[in-house]
């Protein structure tokens, strides 16, 4: 087969390519015309039918679903016995995070939403108390098709359950009746059940009847499932949430060996026991050079990892605690900075005018309560964004650029003006982090735990201004300081005891 530059075209491109091939076949002589297999949008392979052991045909279509990923759609049919089977497989890699898709089915038009279900996907319908566990193969269907498959599977053994387990029959039949109300199928009588089974049911989206609303959730740790949105990713009935897989989910997907993890857990317990024993035997004071190690679990892959913590003294500022986590399995890394001193009675605002690349090399400590603003490019980071960071000015600007460039969604569904404004903002941020234009950094921290290096210390820095201010009630309330009482709390405790006794 010749190499194709676009190996996974979209469904629309496949449809237009099919029309062109049909037109060529008509021009060249109709059905007798022969084209190379590489010109076909669907590849056909002879396969053995597992039912009658004759030769059937498997058709493969490589396509991409917009806003999702590349998939392989497979369809098998045997002309001898009529056996058929459809399956879908992901053509991409396992995503670094699991996905949870949620779609609200509020009207009959929503029953036409397409569903891509991978072999590791679990489907939940909370209103029906229905959970479909992962299967052995993928599936491409719609919400209506999914419900019809469930009804057909549950109805298969109902006559036998009615005789052997009447209680189980009644519970399952109640669930079937609820799903038939969603589909809008006419009620079945026992005598007409056989005749109704042969008739083709009407399309549920075209039935003129009220429909109970429900929710469909696709929980896939591999991230290879999908449910269609309508009109764009801002569909109010559609939601996507990503999450970090647990260790058990990574083991189920084959990403982690259960035996290796068990051995690692055993060795880690021995290290923890020996470390605890050594700590209990020593009475030496804690020094600034000592590094503390805390065991924990990786939030990305679930493996057992260590978090290192060290106290650092910043000259002309205060003590801080730096915590670092590094997972050797999945590469997850995280660094965080905490204040190691008391709460400041006042807030602090640091204003730095950056004029050249030398200012980009200044050390900067941004606490988790600090906000950062660059007025020249209209950049505003609210309090808590990016957490605590101890880096350089260039480093924190690089982190902001990477976060916005990778995670901000700029797709076909965005307005043209919004896309252009965002591109202009990114270009301005890039110019700032490369020191191509002067700019001003304003670091506002209500707890005064942030810091920017003074290159002229201990003398004042001509490019930096530090302002102290009194926190208002709202800031103290957000920080939880209004409820803290460090003086006279004994009297309040005695008063509370007296009130209880009386």
Tell me: the pLDDT tens digits for 156-187? 888 888 888 888 899 999 999 898 888 887 66
- pLDDT range class, residue 409, cuts 50, 70, 90: very low
pLDDT on residue 41: 66
CA 333 to chain centre: 18
Q: What is the mean pLDDT of the chain?
A: 78
**Model confidence over 321-336: pLDDT tens digits?**
888 888 887 777 887 7
Query: What residues have CB less than 8 Å from 102, skipping those under 6 apart?
Result: 215, 216, 217, 218, 238, 239, 240, 241
- pLDDT range class, residue 13, cuts 50, 70, 90: low
Please check the confidence at residue 407 and state whether its pLDDT lies above 60. no
- Would the pTM count as exceeding 0.85? no
Could you tell me the domains of the chain? 11-90 (2.20.25.420), 98-186+208-243 (2.60.120.1040), 258-337 (no CATH), 345-479 (2.60.120.1040)
Query: Which DSSP letter does residue 186 get?
Result: P
Reference 107, options 179, 175, 178, 204; nearest CA is 204
Q: What angle, rounded to 10 degrees, do the helices at 143-155 and 166-183 form?
A: 150
Please give the structure tokens belonging to residue 306: 């260590």
**Model confidence over 338-354: pLDDT tens digits?**
777 777 888 999 999 99
According to the per-residue pLDDT averaged within each range, which of 230-234, 242-246, 367-371, 465-469 is highest? 465-469
According to the per-residue pLDDT averaged within each range, which of 30-44, 51-65, 344-358 is highest? 344-358
- Pairwise CA distance, residues 175 & 464, whole Å: 69
Over residues 30-54, mean pLDDT:
69
Q: Which residue's structure tokens are 């897989």?
A: 245
- pLDDT range class, residue 125, cuts 50, 70, 90: very high
By the 8 A CB rule, do 316 and 299 touch?
Answer: no
Query: What residues have CB less than 8 Å from 441, skipping those under 6 apart?
Result: 350, 351, 352, 354, 372, 373, 374, 393, 452
pLDDT on residue 258: 67
Please check the confidence at residue 289 and state whether its pLDDT lies above 80. no
Residues β-bridged to residue 74:
60, 87
- Pairwise CA distance, residues 285 & 406, whole Å: 45
Class of residue 382 by CB neighbours under 10 A (exposed 0-12, middle 13-18, buried 19+): exposed
**Model confidence over 54-63: pLDDT tens digits?**
899 998 887 7
- Pairwise CA distance, residues 211 & 277, whole Å: 65
Please check the confidence at residue 479 and state whether its pLDDT lies above 90. no
Q: How far is CA 16 from each of CA 19, 22, 80, 135, 139, rounded to the nearest angstrom?
A: 5, 10, 32, 34, 25
Give the side-chain half-sphere CA count within 13 A for 169.
Answer: 11
- pLDDT range class, residue 285, cuts 50, 70, 90: low
- pLDDT range class, residue 11, cuts 50, 70, 90: low
- pLDDT range class, residue 214, cuts 50, 70, 90: very high
Three-state SS for 132-157 is ECCCCCCEEEEHHHHHHHHHHHHHCC
- Pairwise CA distance, residues 119 & 134, whole Å: 6
According to the per-residue pLDDT averaged within each range, which of 29-38, 60-69, 211-220, 254-263 is highest? 211-220
β-bridge pairing 304-313 and 122-125: unpaired
SS percent in the chain: helix, strand, coil, step 5: 35, 30, 40
Three-state SS for 317-374 is CCEEEEEEEECCCCCCEEEEEEECCCCCCCEEEEEEEECCHHHHCCEEEECCCCEEEE
Please check the confidence at residue 218 and state whether its pLDDT lies above 90. yes
Over residues 410-439, mean pLDDT:
77
Q: How far is CA 209 from each of CA 104, 175, 180, 212, rounded to the nearest angstrom?
A: 18, 19, 12, 10
């Amino acid at each position: 087969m010749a190499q194709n530059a676009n190996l996974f075209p979209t469904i629309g491109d496949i449809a237009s390519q099919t029309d062109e091939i049909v037109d060529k076949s008509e021009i060249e002589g109709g059905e007798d015309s022969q084209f190379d297999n590489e010109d076909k949008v669907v590849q056909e392979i002879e396969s053995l039918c597992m039912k009658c052991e004759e030769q059937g045909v498997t058709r493969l279509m490589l396509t991409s679903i917009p806003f999702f990923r590349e998939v392989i759609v497979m369809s098998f049919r045997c002309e001898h016995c009529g056996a058929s089977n459809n399956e879908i497989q992901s053509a991409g890699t396992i995503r670094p995070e699991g996905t949870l898709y949620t779609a609200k089915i509020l009207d009959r038009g929503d029953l036409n939403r397409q569903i891509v279900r991978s072999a590791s996907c679990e489907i939940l319908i909370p209103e029906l108390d229905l959970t479909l566990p992962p299967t052995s193969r993928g599936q491409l269907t719609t919400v209506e098709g999914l419900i019809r498959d469930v009804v057909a599977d549950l109805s298969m053994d109902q006559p036998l359950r009615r005789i052997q387990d009447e209680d189980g029959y009644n519970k399952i039949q109640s669930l079937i009746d609820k799903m038939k109300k969603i589909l809008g199928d006419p009620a079945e009588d026992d005598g007409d059940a056989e005749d109704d089974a042969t008739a083709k049911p009407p399309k549920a989206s075209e039935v003129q009847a009220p429909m109970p609303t429900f929710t469909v959730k696709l929980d896939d740790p591999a991230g290879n499932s999908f449910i269609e949105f309508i009109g764009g990713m801002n569909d109010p009935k559609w939601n996507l949430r990503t999450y970090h897989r647990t260790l058990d989910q990574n083991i189920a997907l084959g990403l982690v060996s259960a035996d290796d993890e068990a051995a690692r857990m055993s060795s880690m317990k021995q290290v923890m026991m020996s470390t605890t024993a050594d700590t209990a035997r020593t009475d030496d004071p804690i020094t600034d050079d000592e590094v503390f190690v805390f065991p924990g679990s990786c939030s990305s892959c679930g493996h057992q990892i260590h978090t290192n913590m060290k106290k650092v003294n910043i000259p002309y500022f205060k003590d801080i605690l730096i915590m670092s986590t590094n997972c050797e399995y999945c590469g997850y890394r995280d660094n965080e900075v905490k204040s190691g001193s008391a709460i400041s009675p006042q807030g602090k605002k640091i204003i730095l005018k950056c004029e050249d690349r030398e200012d980009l090399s200044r050390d900067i400590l941004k606490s988790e309560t600090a906000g950062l603003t660059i007025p020249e490019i209209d950049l505003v980071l609210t309090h808590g964004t990016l957490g605590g960071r101890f880096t350089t000015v260039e480093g924190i600007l690089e982190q902001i650029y990477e976060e916005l460039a990778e995670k901000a969604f700029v797709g076909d569904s965005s307005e043209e003006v919004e896309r252009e404004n965002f591109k202009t903002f990114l270009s301005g941020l890039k110019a700032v982090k490369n020191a191509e234009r002067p700019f001003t950094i304003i670091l506002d921290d209500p707890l005064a735990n942030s810091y920017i290096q003074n290159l002229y210390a201990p003398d004042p820095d001509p490019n930096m201004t530090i302002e102290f201010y009194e926190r208002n009630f709202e800031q103290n309330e957000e920080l939880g300081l209004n409820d803290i009482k460090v003086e006279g709390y004994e009297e309040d405790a005695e008063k509370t005891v007296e009130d209880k006794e009386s």
